[in-house]
C-alpha cells in the first residue's frame, strides 16, 4: 500500500525541526529550577531542624502559663509584642500606633461582670493591648464612656467610681488584685485589694503599677507600666462603669476576663528574650527565622525576608564580542523581558509585624511532622518558601521553628538560562519561518490550481459540462481534489436522475390513467345504469390511486418541514413501541407480532409521534414482504448509551448490492405488474423512516438473516443525556 504523506504530517515533520531545540532547552531549564527548589526546600528544613535542636528540652524558654494552654481564647489570652522604644506615660497613646493592628476592641459582647440586678444598656467600649519593653509590661486603654465619674474627694471607697481592675497570678499561682481609681485625671498608681474576691478594700499601695489617666472628648485613656516579674503570665483587665455621680452604683465591667477569679484569668505571651538571643546569630544566614508556641503565637524572630534570597546567583560576565553584546543588551533582552520578569525587591511582606502565624506547614509541624510550604506574596511579586520543624519538650510539641526564604536567586538563574535559550529559539524561528513560507507558497499554488480546474467544469448556468481529473497526490489537497471529482460525478448522476424521473413515474402513473380513460370511454357507450356504476367505480379507484401517488410524493417534503418545526421532549421509547404493537395486531390480523424487551425503560430526546410514524413505515414494509400468518419479531435492548430495536420478518432477501440504496428516495425493488387496485409503490417508506432516525441522531441498517429466511431492520438511537 502506498504511504500517505499528508500535509499535516509534512508540517509536523517540519515543526519538529523548529521545536526540538527550544523544547529540550526549556525542559532542561525547568528541571534545573525544580532541582534547585527541591534543594532549597531541603536546606531550609535542615536549617529549621538545626534551630529546633537548640531549643529542644528547654522548658524555661516557654511561658509556663500560656504555652501549656490547650486552647487560646481570643481577647482573653493576650499577646505582648516587643516595643522598640519605652512608652511615654502621657495618656496620648501616640507610641502605640506602630503596633496598632494588634489593638483589640471590647464592647457589650465582652462584659465579664454584671453588678446591677436589672439589665442596663452597655454604653462603654474599650480598645486595649499590651506590649513589652525591657523588663516591663505596658498596657493601654482607650475607653469610650458617655459619663465619666471620678472618685469623690476624701472618699475611702475605691470602687464607687469609674475604675480599672487588674488581676494576676504570681510565681506561686497566688491571685493578686489591683485597682486604679483616681480622684482626677493625671498620674496614677494602683492599690492592692484584699484577698476576698467579693470585697474591694484597698490594703496597700502598689507603686510598681504606675501610669497616666487622661480624659478625652469621648471618655478617657489609660497608660500603665508594671514589672514583668509581677506575673507568671496569667493576667486580666476590666473597666468598671459608674454613670450616676450621686448613687455611684456599679453597673458592669468590660474587659479581657474577670480579675476576681483566678480560673478565669487569661494569659499573656511575649516574645522570649532568651530565644531572641539564640536566633541573633542567624541574621547572617540569609533567612528569616520565627519561633512560635503551639498556639502559633510568635515568641521570637530574626532576619528580614527582603534579604533572604535563598540562592546567590552572582553577576553574569560576558565574553561575547562588542557588537553582539550591544545587540543583546539593546534589542534582545528588552524583548525577552516582555515575557520574563525580574525578581522585585519591593514586594509586600504581609508578615512584617505578625504576632501569629498560620499555614499548612505550621499545622503539620505542631502535629509533630516537619513540612514546607510555597506561597505568593499579596502583590504576586515574590514566591516565599517556608519550612517548619517541631520543638519538643519531653514527648510534647511545645512550638515550632519556621524558616523563610524567597526564590529570587533561583529566578535570576532561571532567567539567565532562558536568555541563552531564547537566542537559540530566535535563530531557529527565523530559519524555520522562511522554510514555512516557502512551503505555504507551494500549498497555496496547488489550492488555486484546484479552484481553477473546478470552476472550468461548470458552465455559467450551473450545468456540469465536463469532469474533474482526480489528483494522484496522497496528501489532503489530493484528497480534496478526488472528493471534488466524486461530488461532481454524483451531482451529474443526480441531475440525470431528475431528468429521467418522468420515465420512472410513468410506471406507476400509466395504469391508473389507463383505467380512468378506459372507464370514461366505455361509460359513454353503456346505457345500463348498473354497468355505468361499475365503470364509475373503476374511474374513481384510478383517481384515488393517482391522488395516493401524489400524496406519497409530497409526504417526504411535508415530513421534512414538520421535523424542522418539531419540539423535542424526553419520552420512553419502550412505551411507544409497546403501544404501537397493539395497534398493529388489529391493523394486520393476518400477521403475528412478537415483542421481546431486554430493558424496562429507555429515555430518548425527540418526538414520540415521529418514532411511531417511523415504526409504521417499517412494519408496513415487513407486512408486505412477509407471508400471511407469519410472525414479525421485534426485539429491543440497550448497548452502553444506545438503545437498539430490531424488526425481523420472513420473506424474500434484500437485492444484492442494494442494502445502502433502499433508504434513499424513490427506490423500490417490488416485482412488476402491480394491479390497479394495489397501493402505489414509490420507494418512500424506508426513506421517511431513515429521515426520522437521522433526526434522532440514530442509524438504520438493513441486512439479511443469517439463515437466509428473511430480512432484519436494526435501528440504533442514542439515549437522552
* CA-to-CA separations, 480 to 445, 447, 466, in angstroms, rounded: 14, 9, 18
As given in the structure block, the three cell numbers for residue 38 are 527541591
As given in the structure block, the three cell numbers for residue 22 are 527550544
d(CA 504, CA 497): 9
Quote the pLDDT of residue 238: 94
d(CA 538, CA 518): 9
* CA-to-CA separations, 91 to 96, 191, 221, 237, 339, in angstroms, rounded: 11, 19, 6, 17, 55
Residue 357 neighbours by CB distance under 10 Å: 19
d(CA 188, CA 226): 12
The contacts of residue 190 (CB under 8 Å, 6+ apart) are 166, 178, 179, 180, 205, 206, 209, 210
Rounded-to-5 percentages of helix, strand, coil across the chain: 40, 25, 35
d(CA 611, CA 619): 12
User: DSSP string spanning 488-508?
Assistant: HHHHHHHHHHHHTHHHHHHHH
d(CA 313, CA 36): 12
Name which of 536, 517, 127, 58 is nearest 300 in CA terms.
Answer: 58
Quote the pLDDT of residue 527: 72
d(CA 662, CA 382): 71
Burial of 567 (0-12, 13-18, 19+ CB in 10 A): exposed
Decide if 604 contacts 611 (C-beta within 8 A): yes
Residue 64 neighbours by CB distance under 10 Å: 14
Report, as ranges of residue numbers, the positions in the chain whose pLDDT lies below 50: 64-65, 666, 671-677
Name which of 483, 470, 529, 715 is nearest 611 in CA terms.
Answer: 715
d(CA 383, CA 361): 15
d(CA 267, CA 307): 34
pLDDT tens sequence across 254-289: 999 999 988 888 888 776 677 777 777 666 567 888
Widest distance between CA atoms in the chain: 151
Sheet containing 288-293: order of strands: 298-302, 288-293, 396-406, 383-393, 371-376
d(CA 77, CA 234): 9
Name which of 519, 454, 521 is nearest 483 in CA terms.
Answer: 454
Specify the 3-state DSSP secondary structure of 239.
strand
Quote the pLDDT of residue 498: 61
d(CA 22, CA 428): 9
As given in the structure block, the three cell numbers for residue 588 are 394486520
As given in the structure block, the three cell numbers for residue 305 are 525576608
Sign of CA dihedral 407, 410, 413, 419: negative
Quote the pLDDT of residue 674: 44
- DSSP strand pairing (298-302 vs 234-242): unpaired
Quote the pLDDT of residue 40: 85
Specify the 3-state DSSP secondary structure of 191.
strand
Name which of 102, 77, 70 is nearest 366 in CA terms.
Answer: 70
Decide if 112 contacts 254 (C-beta within 8 A): yes
Residue 654 neighbours by CB distance under 10 Å: 16
Beta pairing partners, 254: 111, 239
Decide if 275 contacts 204 (C-beta within 8 A): no
Quote the pLDDT of residue 305: 80
End-to-end C-alpha distance for the chain, whole angstroms: 42
Quote the pLDDT of residue 714: 92
Decide if 99 contacts 83 (C-beta within 8 A): yes
pTM of the model: 0.49
Decide if 393 contacts 59 (C-beta within 8 A): yes
Using the CB atoms, write b or e for 420-454: b if 16+ within 10 Å: ebbeebeebeeebeeeeeeeeeeeeebeeebeebb
Quote the pLDDT of residue 189: 92
Name which of 308, 291, 299 is nearest 401 in CA terms.
Answer: 291
Decide if 382 contacts 341 (C-beta within 8 A): no
Decide if 109 contacts 300 (C-beta within 8 A): no
Amino acid at each position: 500500500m502506498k504511504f500517505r504523506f499528508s500535509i499535516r504530517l509534512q508540517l509536523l515533520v517540519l515543526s519538529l525541526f523548529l521545536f526540538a531545540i527550544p523544547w529540550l532547552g526549556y525542559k532542561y531549564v525547568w528541571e534545573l529550577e525544580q532541582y534547585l527548589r527541591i534543594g532549597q526546600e531541603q536546606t531550609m528544613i535542615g536549617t529549621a531542624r538545626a534551630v529546633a535542636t537548640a531549643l529542644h528540652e528547654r522548658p524555661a524558654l516557654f511561658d509556663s502559663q500560656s504555652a501549656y494552654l490547650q486552647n487560646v481564647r481570643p481577647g482573653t489570652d493576650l499577646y505582648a509584642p516587643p516595643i522598640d522604644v519605652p512608652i511615654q506615660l502621657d495618656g496620648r497613646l501616640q507610641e502605640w500606633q506602630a503596633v496598632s493592628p494588634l489593638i483589640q476592641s471590647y464592647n457589650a459582647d465582652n462584659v465579664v461582670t454584671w453588678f446591677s440586678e436589672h439589665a442596663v444598656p452597655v454604653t462603654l467600649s474599650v480598645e486595649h493591648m499590651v506590649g513589652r519593653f525591657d523588663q516591663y509590661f505596658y498596657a493601654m486603654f482607650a475607653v469610650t464612656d458617655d459619663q465619666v465619674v471620678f472618685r469623690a474627694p476624701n472618699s475611702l471607697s475605691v470602687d464607687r467610681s469609674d475604675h480599672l481592675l487588674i488581676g494576676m497570678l504570681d510565681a506561686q499561682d497566688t491571685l493578686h488584685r489591683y485597682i486604679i481609681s483616681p480622684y482626677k485625671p493625671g498620674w496614677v498608681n494602683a492599690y492592692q485589694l484584699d484577698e476576698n474576691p467579693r470585697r474591694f478594700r484597698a490594703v496597700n499601695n502598689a507603686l510598681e503599677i504606675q501610669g497616666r489617666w487622661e480624659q478625652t472628648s469621648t471618655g478617657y485613656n489609660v497608660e500603665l507600666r508594671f514589672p514583668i516579674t509581677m506575673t507568671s503570665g496569667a493576667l486580666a483587665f476590666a473597666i468598671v462603669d459608674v454613670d450616676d455621680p450621686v448613687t455611684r452604683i456599679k453597673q458592669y465591667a468590660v474587659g479581657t476576663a474577670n480579675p476576681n477569679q483566678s480560673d478565669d484569668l487569661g494569659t499573656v505571651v511575649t516574645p522570649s528574650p532568651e530565644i531572641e538571643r539564640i536566633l541573633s546569630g542567624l541574621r547572617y544566614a540569609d533567612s528569616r527565622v520565627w519561633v512560635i508556641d503551639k498556639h502559633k503565637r510568635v515568641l521570637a524572630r530574626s532576619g528580614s525576608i527582603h534579604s533572604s534570597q535563598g540562592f546567590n546567583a552572582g553577576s553574569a560576565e560576558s565574553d561575547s564580542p562588542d557588537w553582539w553584546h550591544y545587540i543583546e543588551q539593546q534589542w534582545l533582552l528588552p524583548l525577552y523581558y516582555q515575557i520574563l520578569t525580574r525578581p522585585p525587591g519591593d514586594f509586600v511582606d504581609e508578615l512584617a509585624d505578625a504576632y501569629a502565624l498560620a499555614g499548612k506547614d505550621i499545622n503539620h509541624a505542631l502535629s509533630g511532622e516537619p513540612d514546607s510550604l510555597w506561597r505568593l506574596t499579596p502583590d504576586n511579586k515574590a514566591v516565599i518558601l517556608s519550612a517548619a520543624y517541631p520543638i519538643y519538650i519531653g514527648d510534647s510539641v511545645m512550638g515550632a521553628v519556621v524558616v523563610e526564604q524567597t526564590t529570587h536567586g533561583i529566578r535570576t538563574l532561571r532567567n539567565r538560562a532562558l536568555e541563552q535559550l531564547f537566542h537559540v529559539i530566535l535563530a531557529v524561528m527565523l530559519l524555520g519561518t522562511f522554510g514555512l513560507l516557502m512551503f505555504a507558497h507551494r500549498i497555496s499554488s496547488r489550492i488555486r490550481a484546484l479552484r481553477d480546474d473546478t470552476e472550468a467544469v461548470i458552465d455559467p448556468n450551473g450545468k456540469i459540462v465536463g469532469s474533474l481529473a482526480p489528483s494522484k497526490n496522497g496528501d489532503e489537497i489530493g484528497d480534496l481534489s478526488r472528493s471534488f471529482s466524486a461530488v461532481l460525478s454524483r451531482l451529474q448522476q443526480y441531475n440525470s436522475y431528475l431528468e429521467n424521473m418522468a420515465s420512472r413515474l410513468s410506471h406507476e402513473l400509466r395504469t391508473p390513467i389507463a383505467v380512468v380513460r378506459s372507464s370514461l370511454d366505455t361509460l359513454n357507450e353503456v346505457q345500463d345504469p348498473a354497468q355505468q356504476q361499475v365503470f364509475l367505480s373503476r374511474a374513481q379507484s384510478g383517481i384515488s390511486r393517482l391522488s395516493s401517488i401524489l400524496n406519497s410524493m409530497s409526504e417526504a417534503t411535508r415530513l421534512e418541514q414538520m421535523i424542522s418545526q418539531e419540539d423535542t421532549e424526553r419520552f420512553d421509547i419502550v412505551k411507544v413501541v409497546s403501544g404501537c404493537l397493539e395497534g398493529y395486531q388489529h391493523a394486520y390480523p393476518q400477521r403475528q407480532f412478537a415483542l421481546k424487551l431486554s430493558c424496562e425503560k429507555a429515555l430518548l430526546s425527540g418526538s414520540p409521534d415521529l418514532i411511531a410514524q417511523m415504526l409504521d413505515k417499517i412494519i408496513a414494509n415487513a407486512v408486505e414482504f412477509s407471508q400471511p400468518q407469519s410472525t414479525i419479531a421485534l426485539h429491543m435492548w440497550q448497548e452502553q448509551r444506545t438503545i437498539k430495536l430490531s424488526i425481523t420478518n420472513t420473506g424474500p432477501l434484500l437485492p444484492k448490492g442494494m442494502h445502502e440504496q433502499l433508504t434513499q428516495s424513490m427506490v423500490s425493488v417490488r416485482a412488476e405488474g402491480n394491479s390497479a387496485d394495489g397501493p402505489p409503490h414509490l420507494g418512500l417508506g424506508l426513506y421517511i423512516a431513515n429521515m426520522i432516525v437521522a433526526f434522532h441522531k440514530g442509524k438504520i441498517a438493513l441486512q439479511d438473516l443469517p439463515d437466509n429466511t428473511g430480512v432484519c431492520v436494526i435501528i440504533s438511537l442514542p439515549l437522552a443525556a
